[in-house]
Amino acid sequence: MSIREKIKKLLIVDDDIDLLEQHKMLMESKGFKVVTAESGKQGYDVFLHEKPDAAIVDLIMEESDSGFVLCHRIKRTEYGKKIPVFMLTSATYETGFKFSAATDEEKEWIKCDGIINKPVVVEELLQKLENFYSK
Amino acid sequence: MDTEKIPRVLVVDDEKGLRVGTGRLLEMEGFSVQTAENGTEGILLGTREDFDLAIIDMKMPDIDGIEVLRKIRKSKPNTVCFIATAYASYETAIEATRIGAFGYIPKPFSPEELIQQLNKGYSQRLLLLESEKLKKEREENLLELAGEKSRLNAIINAIISGVIVVNKTGEIVYFNHAAIKNLNLDELNIGDRYEEKMPQKVNDLIEEIISSEIKTQKSLAIQIEIIKPNELIAEIICTPVLHPDGSFAGVVLVIRNITEMKKIEIIKSQFISMVAHELKTPVAAVQGFLNILIDDRFNIGYEKQKEYLSRSVVRLSSLLDLVNDLLDISRMETKSKKREIEKLNVPEIIDNCIITLELEIKKKSIRIIRNTLQQECNLFADSNEITRVFTNLLSNAIKYNKDKGSISINIEENKNFIIARIEDTGIGMKPEEKDKLFQEFFRAKNENTRGISGTGLGLTIVRRIIESYHGKMEVESTYGIGTAFTIYLPKSYK
């Protein structure tokens, strides 16, 4: 089964409306239905309402940890545990932020299934979604 | 006899003839003579001056010779004393010698006999003086050594860095107080094993030095977080100590408290991380738009193309603002830009700022209310810097204001300060936002601030400029009502 059959609806949450629009266009061009939100708060509401098959959440929104909080809230729900949630950020090792969500210790407190760097490379994102389902 | 010095002799005798006769005889022989006619006078002279030699008559009417001898010996132990007496007996001779007489001269004595005895006595005197001198020198040396040691101790204890010396068998043989403090130890004693007291990483270094085959004077250093998190960070430098012959003596540890330095480093690197992040985001946005524009698959219409290009321009100009702000901060930090201090009129500067911001003021239909009565409010400062302060404050008052809101500007002065207050009728701040106001890159983000652009460095720059003039800034804010900034700038800046 291809990834598009598993993920019909994708939630993207980002307070940068330019990036949000671009990512929406990119994913739509790959055949996904995309729903969006512009803050952590709104993101959770959309998540509950739309029940997306995957979520991509920007890290720094209204607060510097909004993305973390949203991931936690999503993963606390029974439904959220079943879907891939990726954190989107340009704050990574390269820019001096010391986290990767890769070590066991990090997985304890970063409740997401992986980190995606900005700007998004669609192929990389698709690969990560594939990997989630092939686990 | 010593030719350079004339031996000084005290003659104590109550018999005038003998006293004068002995005196003359001795003077002829090259002695310098003083006489005392009874025991009291003898004690007085003999204890006051350090005679080389003394001849003391045993029997005198006031005090007997043994007592005179005792007093002189006690006060001047290096005066060589002879007892002279007509009542020669074995017992008196023993007694006199016991008390410390060098010789015993029975009366009557011949001149040769006397001179011979005195010469012998004088040699003894010179020996005594020599040994006294050596003893004194030795004592002085010891004193100096002790002084040197305690001075060294005082110096090492005064050093702010910790010092610990470990001998080659691994015992702590020396340490100062700072060592205990910088390693946060409960106690440390001479003779303790280093392995039991030092952090493991330091033990490894000491072990490495002690066990290495070739001992060079190369140091090993390590930085350790003694109290987490970042409460106490120490740098420990271990250096082998070699004897002058090159053999291994032990290891000296120097322990520096580098907590403050580390904290600054952390702040710096956090700032750089934030800068990198803030620079990367607009670049990513522009890149995203351009990628869509050049990708034929998207096939977007002309209007959409124009929109994306103008949104890219907006992102690029805010990126440029950010770079300019960063350059300003960097210039302030390195003080690379020379200040041009001149007399400025604050109301005039504010008027100029308002002119440059006119477009934004009109866009939001904001009313500017000037409450200043005085036309002149002068201060001495750099025109660019003061303009920057008011531009940033006014620009915030516009950006975070409501449509058709107002900004009231109040300028007054007291003896030392120009006090400027800029009050808006904007969205205000929540208390937690106000606390973070001066953090670099902090921008209040809530339902009301969407679409407001900024670098997050504006107030950082304002604060830095004001502080560099030794002024201060106060903020009052009520969420939903408005914010007021009051700044105090010293009139004269030196």
Tens of pLDDT, residue by residue over B6-19, are: 899 999 998 888 88
Does the pLDDT at position A101 exceed 70? no
Q: Are A24 and A12 in contact (CB under 8 A)?
A: yes
CA distance B147 to B246: 28
Q: pLDDT value at position B255? A: 95
Q: Does A18 touch chain B (CB under 8 A)?
A: yes
In terms of phi and psi (left: phi > 0; alpha: psi -120 to 50; beta: otherwise), the region of B164 is beta
- Tell me whether A61 touches chain B (CB under 8 Å): yes
pLDDT (tens digit per residue) in B407-423: 999 998 888 899 999 99
**What's the whole-number mean pLDDT along residues B335-339?**
76
In B448-474, which positions are buried (b, 16+ CB within 10 angstroms) versus exposed (e)? eeeeeebbbbbbbbbbbbbeebebebe
Cβ <8 Å between B292 and A25: yes
Average pLDDT of every residue of chain B: 87
Write out residues 71-130 of A within 8 Å (CB-CB) of B.
90-91, 94-97, 118-119
Given the structure tokens 């101790």, which residue do they identify? Answer: B153
Residue B1 — pLDDT band, cuts 50, 70, 90? very low
CA dist., res. B369 & res. B411, Å (int): 12
Q: Using CB atoms within 10 A of its CB, is residue B196 exposed (0-12), middle (13-18) or buried (19+)?
A: exposed
The pTM for the full model equals 0.58
- Judged by CB atoms closer than 8 Å, whether chains meet at A19 and B285 is answered as yes
CA distance B397 to B176: 57
Extract the runs of DSSP E, i.e. beta strands, from B46-134: 53-57, 80-85, 103-106
Question: According to the model, what pLDDT value does residue B450 have?
Answer: 59
Cβ atoms B271, B440 nearer than 8 A: yes
Domains of chain B plus CATH, in order, are: 8-134 (3.40.50.2300), 160-257 (3.30.450.20), 262-334 (1.10.287.130), 341-490 (3.30.565.10)
Are the CB atoms for B346 and B377 separated by under 8 Å? yes
Q: Of the candidates A15, A16, A22, which has its C-beta nearest B292's C-beta?
A: A22
Q: Quick one: average pLDDT of B274-295? A: 87
Residue contacts between A and B (CB atoms, under 8 Å): 55
Q: What's residue B324's pLDDT?
A: 87
Per-residue confidence (pLDDT) for residue B445, from 0 to 100: 61
User: Residue B248 in contact with residue B214, Cβ under 8 Å?
Assistant: no
Identify the residue among A118, A121, A123, A125 best suited for mutation to test binding to B, counting B beta carbons within 10 A and taking the highest.
A118
Which ipTM did the prediction report?
0.81
Backbone phi, psi, residue B369, to 5°: -115, 120
For residue A98, list chain B residues with Cβ-Cβ distance below 8 A: none
Q: Which residue has the higher pLDDT, B156 or B92?
A: B156
CA separation for the pair B433, A20 (Å, rounded): 25
Helix intervals (H) in B335-427? 346-356, 358-363, 383-399
Alpha-carbon span B208 to B239, nearest angstrom:
11
Instruction: Give percent of chain B above pLDDT 90.
Output: 42
Q: Minimal Cα–Cα distance from B395 to chain A, Å?
A: 21
Categorize the per-residue pLDDT at A115 as very low, low, confident or very high, splitting at 50, 70 and 90.
confident
Sort out which chain A residues have CB atoms less than 8 A from B297's CB and list them: 29
Residue A42 touches chain B, beta carbons under 8 Å: no
What percentage of residues in chain B have a pLDDT greater than 70? 95
Give chain A positions within 8 Å (CB) of B445: 15, 61-63
What's the half-sphere exposure (Cβ side, CA atoms, 13 Å) at A113? 21
Q: Which residue of B has its CA nearest to A63?
A: B445
> Which pairs count as long-range contacts for B173-182, CB under 8 Å and 24+ apart, including other chains?
B173/B250, B178/B255, B179/B253, B179/B255, B181/B257, B182/B226, B182/B232, B182/B234, B182/B255, B182/B256, B182/B257
Lowest-confidence segment of A60-74, B174-188, B295-309, B346-360 by average pLDDT: A60-74
Q: Assess whether pLDDT exceeds 50 at residue B2.
A: no
CB nearest to A90's CB, from B270, B281, B298: B281
Other Cβ atoms less than 10 A from the Cβ of B424: the count is 26
Best of B267, B268, B281 to substitute, by most chain A Cβ atoms within 10 angstroms, is B281
What pLDDT was estimated at residue B263? Answer: 86
Order the strands of the A33-37 sheet from edge to edge.
A33-37, A9-13, A54-58, A85-89, A114-117
Task: Of B116-120, B151-155, B161-165, B332-336, give the lowest mean pLDDT range.
Answer: B332-336
Q: What is the pLDDT of residues B236-257, one digit of tens each?
A: 999 998 888 888 889 999 999 9
Contacts of B114 (CB under 8 A, 6+ apart): B22, B25, B26, B55, B105
Q: Is A63's pLDDT higher than 80?
A: no
Classify domain A7-134 at the CATH superfamily level. Response regulator (3.40.50.2300)
Confidence (pLDDT) at A22: 92
* pLDDT value, residue B95: 80
Tell me the average pLDDT across B254-275: 86
Stretch among A26-40, A106-120, B55-69, B329-343 having the lowest mean pLDDT: A106-120
pLDDT surpasses 90 at B305: yes
Could you tell me the pLDDT band of residue A39, with boundaries at 50, 70 and 90? confident
Name the token pair of B243. Answer: 């004897």
Taking the C-alpha atoms of residue B440 and residue B438, their distance in angstroms, rounded to an integer, is: 6
List residues of B whose CB lies inside 8 A of any A CB: 269-270, 272-273, 276-277, 280-281, 284-285, 287-289, 291-292, 297-298, 311, 315, 445-446, 450
End-to-end Cα, chain B, rounded Å: 81
The mean per-residue pLDDT over the stretch B53-80 comes to: 90
